[in-house]
Amino acid sequence: MTKPCVICVAITGSLPVKANNPAVPITVSEQIESTQEAFEAGATIVHAHVRNDDETPSSDPEKFARLREGIEKHCPGMIIQFSTGGRSGAGRSRGAMLALAPDMASLAVGSNNFPARVYENPPDLVDWLAAEMRTRGVKPEIEAFDLSHIHQAVAMRRDGRLRGPLYVQFVMGVRNAMPVDRDVFDYYVRTMERLAPDSEWCAAGIGAHQFTLNEWCVAGGGHART
Amino acid sequence: MTKPCVICVAITGSLPVKANNPAVPITVSEQIESTQEAFEAGATIVHAHVRNDDETPSSDPEKFARLREGIEKHCPGMIIQFSTGGRSGAGRSRGAMLALAPDMASLAVGSNNFPARVYENPPDLVDWLAAEMRTRGVKPEIEAFDLSHIHQAVAMRRDGRLRGPLYVQFVMGVRNAMPVDRDVFDYYVRTMERLAPDSEWCAAGIGAHQFTLNEWCVAGGGHART
Ligand SMILES: [Zn+2]
Ligand SMILES: [Zn+2]
Ligand SMILES: [Zn+2]
Ligand SMILES: [Zn+2]
């Protein structure tokens, strides 16, 4: 049976800025502080993006290194997941922080539309990121923005590009990608049971959608992302 | 209840060349000839790509116009569907032949991976192609390369970007996109029944996969693509 994921926390995301929400942690020290609050509230995984000084997304390994150092110090035992998402850079720069060998890193295995553009994850970049993670012992969290992404992760595990068991996050509620739909959520879970029965999964939504998805996760026997 | 599609024929596709298969019709007159054969064998819709003289995909409206003229002459009553697929051009040039107001045209509403690249259908281009089709009375065939593309078509119909009833083609068996999977096929059909019960659907596979999909279509109460 697949296992729904433990409680994980996305402290920043790549898009919100202080002008929208003054509580969004932007600097590395603000991020460490809000991770610690989540850790003390029971979160066991932190999904981390870093930002430039102008609040734009960054993939600077030096910032990721300082973030990890702070989290290791203030949140002992917390699992650290670095984002390799495409908002923070292009091409292989997206994986520059993998050299730091974090516990986990996010991995998109397909492409899809975002609200105003294509989220581009070309096959050769996906394979390169997966190989970097394999080489450095980094556990990927597969970001499933659509059904075929689950199938692709299963195919990549079958041919050795990914190590098992898989860890998959269903991402729902992004405009022009998969909406928040309970029937699809249930079908995702059934697909995991069918194709990757030893795997773990969790679900991420945008903003208020996260509360809905957390309810479905708990109904599915699991825990939640905050 | 949704209705599986009538028999349609894809005479060329955008990729095969004579070096792979000498029977592939490349010139407009070869394409008219093979459409006529399919028409006489019972096909009611032709899905048409055109080619440059060097066999590369083209979106030249002049070639599409000559193709239609020949099909109208030799296959009276056959429904003509022009491809707006991304292999034949970039940006709005993909929709240049819509000015000819064909009966139907293919419309991708999301992005996904192809064997060696991203199949890019950015939201603004999708909306522009859909608006061109609406304005000119062209019926779109939605190319669903993934589950979210069905949801996106339903959302576009809901807000008026697409006119109903929808006509959706499930595309399976393209590497790095959705594999040929019976459980997914059945879920696609259930999703159509749930979200677009007045719609029609059909299924397209690559090469030998088409035979498998035709069997599933017929088992689902429908007809086949050849
Ligand atoms: Zn993220
Ligand atoms: Zn998670
Ligand atoms: Zn086509
Ligand atoms: Zn069809």
Minimum mean pLDDT range among A158-167, B35-44, B173-182: B35-44
Separation CA B58–CA B166 (nearest Å):
27
Measured CB to CB, residues of chain B less than 8 Å from chain A are 110-113, 115-124, 126, 145-148, 151-152, 155, 176-179, 181, 183-184, 187, 191, 194
Residue A203 has pLDDT above 60, yes or no: yes
Task: Using alpha carbons, select from B198, B119, B124, B199 the residue that is nearest to residue B161.
Answer: B124
Residue A34 has pLDDT above 70, yes or no: yes
What homologous superfamily is domain A3-219 in, according to CATH? Answer: Aldolase class I (3.20.20.70)
Separation CA A225–CA B204 (nearest Å):
38
- The whole-number average pLDDT for the span A193-200 is 93
**Contact yes or no for B41/B8 (Cβ under 8 A):** no
| Band of pLDDT at residue A25, cut at 50, 70 and 90 | confident
Q: Is A170 helix (H, G, I), strand (E, B) or coil?
A: strand
What is the reported pLDDT for B131?
Answer: 98
Higher-scoring residue by pLDDT: B133, A31: B133
* Chain A contact probe: residue of B107, B109, B113, B188 with most A CBs at under 10 A: B113
Gap from CA of A145 to ligand 2 centroid (Å): 14
Contact residues for A169 (Cβ-Cβ < 8 A; gap 6+): A5, A106, A141, A142, A143, A144, A201, A202, A203, A204
Mean pLDDT of chain B: 87
Which range has the top average pLDDT, A180-189, B2-11, B200-209? A180-189
| Band of pLDDT at residue B122, cut at 50, 70 and 90 | very high
| Band of pLDDT at residue A70, cut at 50, 70 and 90 | very high
Higher-scoring residue by pLDDT: B213, A199: A199
Residue A135 distance to chain B (closest CA, Å): 23
Separation CA A28–CA A70 (nearest Å):
9
Q: What pLDDT, in 10s, does the model give residues B135-190?
A: 999 999 999 999 999 999 999 999 999 999 999 999 999 999 999 999 999 999 99
Report the helix count and the strand count for chain B, using DSSP H and E.
6, 12
Task: Using alpha carbons, select from A110, A189, A191, A200 the residue that is nearest to residue B183.
Answer: A191
Q: Is A82 helix (H, G, I), strand (E, B) or coil?
A: strand
Residue B107 has pLDDT above 70, yes or no: yes
Gap from CA of A14 to ligand 1 centroid (Å): 6
**Contact yes or no for A131/A108 (Cβ under 8 A):** no
Contacts of A179 in chain B (CB under 8 A): 148, 151, 155
Q: Which residues of A38-55 are buried (b: 16+ CB within 10 A; e: fewer)?
A: bbeeebbbbbbbbbeeeb
Does residue A22 have a cis peptide bond before it, meaning omega lies within 30 degrees of 0?
A: no
| Band of pLDDT at residue A11, cut at 50, 70 and 90 | low
Contacts of A178 in chain B (CB under 8 A): 147-148, 151
ipTM of the complex: 0.91
Contacts of A118 in chain B (CB under 8 A): 111, 118, 120-122
